[in-house]
Amino acid sequence: MNKKTPSPVRRFLSHLSKPVLAMAQGPWGGKPDDDSGEKPQGPSSGGPRNPWTQPPRGGGPRPGGGPERPSLFDDLLRRGREGFGGGGGPGPGGGFPGAQARGLWPIGLAIVAILWVVLTSFHRIGPQERGVVLQLGKYSRTLQPGIGLTLPAPLERVEMVDVEEIRTIDVGSVGQGAENLVLTGDQNIIDLAYSVRWNIRDADLYKFQLADPDATIREVAETAMRSVVATVSLTDALGAGRTVIEQQVEERMQQILDSYRGGVRVQGVAIKQADPPEAVNDAFKEVSASQQAAQTYINEARAYAQQLNARAQGEAAAFDKVYEQYRLAPEVTRRRMYYETMEAVLADTDKTVVEAGNVVPYLPLPEVKSKERAATPAAGANEGGR
């Protein structure tokens, strides 16, 4: 840039444009056209620098040290420092607070400091969080959700704790996985899988009271479950008593954790699976199979009873009806029934009428075709049937 005696505005602009021009050079330094002589001696003149050439030996002290190429930042600094130093005198209008001092440092520091204070004093706390404020290590207060104000960073630090999130611990596994065998009160064994839900109640207690709170809660859960199951019988654990067990475990866990002042609330315990162990599962299936069998027997007996009852009632009703008719005209009905029956019976049978008297009855038995039993032997023929 030409060194004229510019107006304040132009000077202002020229100060501002130096960094812009510097950036126009590209990150490897060098200038498209250089006629001010401000460039340091190091980099080769003319054209953008080839990044693969050997870096030139340094001209002038570099803050970073080492074989660094004069980077954009170095250029900026040097330019700024020399520009301001060279300018001296009364600066242009507008605030340059450090104009009488050495340069960019105080302004930058001030800006950084203000940013630092602002960023670390205001805290945004979500609805499910609480902010634990530590004043140089000492606990001072807990911030509620919203915007919280504290002293800036080294003096007060805020740690966020998520208190609404419900965490789950799973003990044991459902299905074919590893068995979690627990002894019951009557010295039987069951395979338990359950889960515990908990959340943080007091953020400060949770952070400061227990070392490794998550592992502690898991151990407390196992202890509580074991001690409760050891007071119930096998049938209760397998069936009806599960809700009672869950409730008791929850109470006991809360009791233990409160005795530690752990600041944790147990939301609930859920038993996912309570089964007999693999090895005796067949025997248990046998029991339910036998229950089914017993029920089947009873059902069959009932069916038989129904059948019998129906048949009896049917026959009784039939007899009653006939009897009614018979009573009206006994002899006639009797005769009628007799003739009807005999007619039906003797119609399809082989009949032989043998007259008693002087004829010797000869009965050709082999010719009488009777398959299994003889219908009536010769003796029966003489007596006659009724």
Partner 1 sequence: MRGLIRNPVALALVALALVILLGATVSIVPETRQAVIVRFGEPVRLINRYHPNEKFGNTGAGIALRVPFAEQIVWIDKRIQSVEMERQQVLSTDQLRLQVDAFARYRITDPLRMYISAGTEERVKDALRPILGSALRNELGKRPFAALLSPERGQVMSNIEAGLNRVARQYGVEVIDVRIKRTDLPDGTPLQSAFQRMRTARQQEALTIRAQGEKQAQIIRAEADAAAAQVYAASFGKDADFYDFYRAMQAYRRTFNPQASGQTTVILSPDNEFLREFRGR
> Which 85-144 residues touch partner 1, going by CB under 8 A?
102, 134-141
Query: Should residue 336 be labelled a site residue for partner 1 when binding is judged by CB under 8 A?
Result: no
**CA-to-CA dists, residue 254 to 22, 283, 370, angstroms:** 67, 37, 92
Report 234-253 residues binding partner 1 (CB under 8 A).
Answer: 234
Report in angstroms how near the CB of residue 317 gets to partner 1 at its nearest. Answer: 8
B/e letters for 21-46, b = 16+ CB within 10 Å, e = fewer, are ebeebeebbbbeeeeeeebbebbeee
By CB under 8 A, residue 76 contacts partner 1 = no
User: Quick check: 279 binds partner 1 (CB under 8 A)?
Assistant: yes
CB nearer to partner 1: give 125 or 253. Answer: 253
Between β-strands 189-200 and 181-183, what pairing exists: parallel, antiparallel or unpaired? antiparallel
* Segment near partner 1 (CB under 8 A); pick from 47-55, 111-119, 160-168, 228-236: 228-236
When asked if residue 223 is in the footprint of partner 1 (CB under 8 A), the reply is: yes
Q: How far is the CB of 91 from partner 1 (least distance, A)?
A: 21
Judged by CB under 8 A, does residue 385 bind partner 1?
Answer: yes
Applying CB under 8 A, does 204 fall inside the site for partner 1?
yes
Q: Where in 140-169 is the site for partner 1 (CB under 8 A)?
A: 140-141
Distance in angstroms (rounded) separating the CA atoms of residues 188 and 254: 27
Tell me the sheet residues that pair with 159.
132
Number of chain residues interacting with partner 1 (CB under 8 A)? 112
**Binding flag, residue 305, partner 1 (CB under 8 A):** yes
316 near partner 1, rule: CB under 8 A:
yes
Q: Judged by CB under 8 A, does residue 287 bind partner 1?
A: yes
- Residues 337-366 binding partner 1 (CB under 8 A) are 337-339, 341-342, 344-356, 363
Instruction: Using CB under 8 A, pick the residue from 3, 4, 57, 373 that binds partner 1.
Output: 373
Rounded Cα–Cα distance for residues 247 and 242 (Å): 9
CB of 275 to partner 1, least distance (A): 12
Q: How far is the CB of 340 from partner 1 (least distance, A)?
A: 8
Write the CB contacts of 348 (distance below 8 Å, at least 6 apart in sequence): none
Closest CA to 281 of 191, 197, 206, 352: 191
Kindly tell me which of 9 and 183 has the beta carbon lying closer to partner 1.
183
For partner 1, the binding residue among 45, 226, 233, 332 (CB under 8 A) is 226
371 contributes a contact to partner 1 by CB under 8 A: yes
Cβ proximity of 123 and 146 under 8 Å = no
User: 208, 267, 268, 275: which one contacts partner 1 (CB under 8 A)?
Assistant: 208
**Distance, C-alpha 166 to centroid of its chain:** 11
DSSP string, 28-90: T---SS--SS-S-SSSPSSSPPPTTSPPPPP-S--SS-SS----HHHHHHHHHHHHHHHH-SS
Question: CB 103 → partner 1: shortest distance, Å?
Answer: 11
The tokens of 120 are what? 């670390």
Interaction of residue 73 with partner 1, rule CB under 8 A = no
H/E run at residue 194: strand 189-200
How far apart CA 361 and CA 355 sit, in angstroms, is: 8
Residues 82-114 as b/e (b if ≥16 CB within 10 A, e otherwise) read: ebbeeeeeebbeeeeebbeeebeeeeeeeeeee
Q: Is 3 in the site for partner 1 (CB under 8 A)?
A: no
By the rule CB under 8 A, 173 interacts with partner 1: no
